[in-house]
Amino acid sequence: MFTSEHAHSLNSVPPRYSDRINHLLSKMHLVEKVGQLSQVMGNNSEELEQDVRQGLVGSVINEVDVNTLAKLQHIATHQSRLGIPLLVGRDVIHGFKTIFPIPLGQAASWDPELVKKAAKIAGKEASFVGINWTFAPMIDISRDPRWGRIAESFGEDPVLSSIMGVAMVEGFQGDNFQNPSGIAACAKHFVGYGASESGRDYCTTNIPENELRNIYFPPFKAAADAGVATFMSSFSDLDGLPASGNKWLMDSILRKEWNYQGFVVSDWESIAQLQIHGLTESPEHSALTAFDAGIDMEMVSTTYRQNLATLLENKQLSEHEIDQSVLRILHLKEKLGLFDIDYPIEDGQSSDARKQAFYANEDLDVAKQLALKSCVLLQNKNRTLPLNSEALNAIGLIGPLADDGYEQLGTWIFDGEEEASIPLKQALENELSRSVTLNYAKGLQNTRTDNIDLVDDAIKVAQSSDVVILCLGEESFLSGEAHCRAELDLPGKQHWLIEQIAATGKPIVLVIMAGRPLTLEPILNMVDSVLYAWHPGTMGGPAIADLILGESSPSGKLPVTFPRKVGQIPIYYNQKHTGKPATEEQCIHMDDVPERSPQTSLGMAATHLDTHFSPLYEFGFGLSYGEFEYTHLVLDKHSYAPGESINVKVTIKNVGRYDAEEVIQLYIRDLVGSVTRPVKELKQFKRVLICAGKEAVIYFKLEQSELAFYNRNMQLEVEAGTFHVWVSGSSKSNLTTEFIVTKP
C-alpha cells in the first residue's frame, strides 16, 4: 500500500503536510474532522455505510471481508463529500492467514531478519483483503509470566524487545515505506502495561520514572525512531494516571521529548474507561482529558463523536488542536497511498487469486524457519535428542497438543485457519520412514481436564514404543489478553500423565506448547528431553519434527526468565544487586534450618527459604545439538576515553557432533552508578552457524552510547567507571573481563 513517491518517515522532523492534505483540511466541516478521529467497528450495515457516506468515520476495525471493505472504501472515496479513504485496522499480531510463532516465540529466535520477513508476509496477506493498519508490534516489557499478554510480547529485555519491535515495524511498513504491500504498524501499549500488579490484566501499574526510562521506554523509543506509523495508549493506570489520559506520556515524552510525528490511537474504549478508572466524571470529561493528553483517534468508544463539538463550543479546546490530530491521520493515509487507489465497489480479485495470496509455499517456509529457530531445548539428558529413527521400531506420540492444528496457532490469531495448520502427528507421519511405526494416543481430552479416561490407552502406546514424545502445555486460550494464571504448572492432569508414562521406563521427549514460561521443576526428573515450542504457528508440526529427528538443531534462546515457583515472580536477569545479594554461601533452605534457630542466625540475603534463589532457566538460555566452548575473551584496550568504541573478540568452538547455530550474547555490568545498575545488561548478540569441530572468532563493536542510562537526574549519560563484560550463550556466564571508561 505504501507508494514510493510518498516514501518518507513519519517520525523525522515535523512533516510539511502536502498541499493536498492542507487543502482537504481547509474544506472539512467540524463533524468531518471529528469523524477522522473516530474508529468504529466495521460491518456491512446500512447505518455504517451512511456514516461513512457522511464522513463521520475515519477508520474501521475488525472487518476482514474483502467485499465489505471494498464497498466501504468505495463509499468513502466516491460517495462522500470529500472522498477521504478509511484506515482499516486489525490485530495482525503474528500472522494473518499464515501464522508464525507467537511473538514471545519469535523473540526466542533472536533472529530479527526472520521476524521482519514474517511481518512482511503478514502485512502482504492482510493487505490483500483491504487491511492497511495493524495493531502490532506489542512491545511491552514483560517480567511476569502470570500475565497472559506476555505471549504477545518479546519478553523481559529492553534491547531484545527493541530490536524485535523495530524488525516487525520494518516488516509491516517496509523500509521507510518502500514495501508496496506494506501496512501501517502500531507500537503498543504505551506504556508499562506489562507491570500490571500480580500479573492480572488491566491492573494497576506503579513504575518510577527512572525504571520507565531505563526499562519500559526503550522499545517504544526505538519503534518511534524507526518510523512506526502509530502508537496505542495502554489500558493501564500508570502511577495514578491511566495512559489514555496521561499528558506527561503522550505529550511531554512522546511529542516534545521524542518529537514523534505519527498519531496515537486509544486502546479499545480506553477513553470511556477513564470514567471507570475514576479519573473523570463523565464521557465529556473523558473526551476532554484524553484529547488534551494527546490521544488523536478514539477506538470504538464514542466520547469524541459525542462531545468534541461541545467542548469546542465551550472553548475547552481549539479547532487548531483538532486540526493537528486530523492532519496526522490524513498524513498517514497519504503515506499509505490510500488517496491514489480507485476503490471499485467490489473486490475484483478472482477466488484463485485470493487463494494464491495466502499460504504461498515460500511464506510457509518462512513460518517453518521461524518456528524452528524459536524452539528452545531446555533439557537433553543422555543426548536423547535427536532421535535416530533408523534405530527405532516404534515411536509413541502422546498428548492433547500432538494432533491439534488449532491450539498450536496460539493466542491473537483472528484470521488463522486450523485447516492450514500442520500438527506434530501429521508432520511425523510425513517425515518418518515406513520402517518406524508411529503409535498415537491423545492421553487427555485437553490440557485442562481432570478426566483420565484416555490415559490407559496412552500407557499402552508407551509400552509398545521404544521412545515416547509427549506433547503437552497450554491451550491457546490460557494466554493472551485477559487470560492470566495464578499458578504456572502444566494445567489439569498433565503432571499425572507424565508420571504414568515415566513409570513405563521409556525415554521421554517432552514437547511443550505454551504462551508463557511454566513452572516445570517438578517434572524435569521424569523426562529426558524438554523442547519448548511456545505456540509455534501454522508450521509448528514440521518444525518440531525436524528438530526431534535431527534435520535441524534447536537454536532458540529464552527471551524471558523461567521461575522455579510463582512466588519468585517478578524474577528477571537484569535485576539490581541489592545490598544483600543472594549467594550460595548466604542462602539456606528451610528444611536445613535447625529447630529453634534464632531470627538473625542464618541466610540474611535476598532469597526465599523454600526455593533456591536462582531461576529454573535464565534469560538467554537454550541448549543445542552442538556443544559450544567460549574462550579468549579479549578487548582491544583496558581503558577507554569518553566516546571511544570498545572492541570485543571471543573464540567459540563447536565441540559437539552436529553443525548448529549459536546465539552469541554480549552483556555488560556498570559496577557503580548515580543510580544502582542491573547486575547484567544485554547489549548485542549474533546468531552464527558453527560446524561440528570448527571454531569461530567473533567480534563485537560496543559503542559507548550503548552504556548510557538515565541517571539520578534523569539524564541519558555514560558515567565513567569500571564495567564488566561477558560473552556467552546465555545470561549466566563465567567468561568475563572488564574495562574502564575514563572521566572526560
Q: Provide the binding-site residues for ligand GLC, judged by CB under 6 A.
A: 91, 135, 188, 267-268, 481
Question: Least CB distance from residue 54 to ligand GLC, whole Å?
Answer: 25
Grid cell at residue 90: 486489525
- Shorter beta-carbon distance to ligand GLC: residue 190 or 726: 190
- Shorter beta-carbon distance to ligand GLC: residue 11 or 236: 236
Grid cell at residue 528: 529426558
- Shorter beta-carbon distance to ligand GLC: residue 415 or 481: 481
Q: Is 232 helix (H, G, I), strand (E, B) or coil?
A: strand
Question: Least CB distance from residue 267 to ligand GLC, whole Å?
Answer: 5
- Shorter beta-carbon distance to ligand GLC: residue 265 or 378: 265
Strand partners, 197: none
- Shorter beta-carbon distance to ligand GLC: residue 48 or 470: 48
DSSP 385-430: PSP-GGG-SEEEEESTTTT-TTGGG-SS-SS--GGG---HHHHHHH
Question: Least CB distance from residue 144 to ligand GLC, whole Å?
Answer: 17
Pairing state between β 394-398 and 298-299: unpaired
How far is the CA of 647 from the CAs of 3, 174, 681, 725, in angstroms? 41, 32, 17, 11
Tell me how far apart the alpha carbons of residues 550 and 77 are, in angstroms, rounded to a whole number. 55
- Shorter beta-carbon distance to ligand GLC: residue 268 or 358: 268
Query: Between vectors from CA 401 to CA 398 and to CA 407, what angle results, nearest 5°?
Result: 170
Question: Least CB distance from residue 91 to ligand GLC, whole Å?
Answer: 5
Question: Least CB distance from residue 228 to ligand GLC, whole Å?
Answer: 14
- Shorter beta-carbon distance to ligand GLC: residue 183 or 375: 183
- Shorter beta-carbon distance to ligand GLC: residue 92 or 543: 92
Question: Least CB distance from residue 39 to ligand GLC, whole Å?
Answer: 9
Question: Least CB distance from residue 341 to ligand GLC, whole Å?
Answer: 24
282 φ/ψ angles, rounded to the nearest 5 degrees: -165, 165
Q: Is 384 helix (H, G, I), strand (E, B) or coil?
A: coil
Residues 6+ apart with CB under 8 A from 538: 95, 98, 99, 100, 359, 364, 367, 409, 416, 420, 421, 422
Tell me how far apart the alpha carbons of residues 224 and 145 are, in angstroms, rounded to a whole number. 27
Question: Least CB distance from residue 302 to ligand GLC, whole Å?
Answer: 16
Question: Least CB distance from residue 61 to ligand GLC, whole Å?
Answer: 6
Tell me how far apart the alpha carbons of residues 703 and 683 are, in angstroms, rounded to a whole number. 10
Question: Least CB distance from residue 93 to ligand GLC, whole Å?
Answer: 8
Residue type (1 letter), 729: G
- Shorter beta-carbon distance to ligand GLC: residue 515 or 622: 515
Tell me how far apart the alpha carbons of residues 527 and 381 are, in angstroms, rounded to a whole number. 8
- Shorter beta-carbon distance to ligand GLC: residue 91 or 475: 91
Question: Least CB distance from residue 586 to ligand GLC, whole Å?
Answer: 42
What dihedral do alpha carbons 382, 388, 389, 395 form, nearest 10°? 10
Euclidean distance between the first and the last CA atom of the chain, given in angstroms as a whole number: 49
Q: Which residue is nearest to ligand GLC (CB)?
A: 135
- Shorter beta-carbon distance to ligand GLC: residue 157 or 267: 267
Contact 189, 243 (CB under 8 A): yes
Instruction: Tell me if the bond preceding 554 is cis, omega within 30° of 0.
Output: no
What dihedral do alpha carbons 604, 610, 614, 617 form, nearest 10°? -170
Tell me how far apart the alpha carbons of residues 375 and 559 are, in angstroms, rounded to a whole number. 11
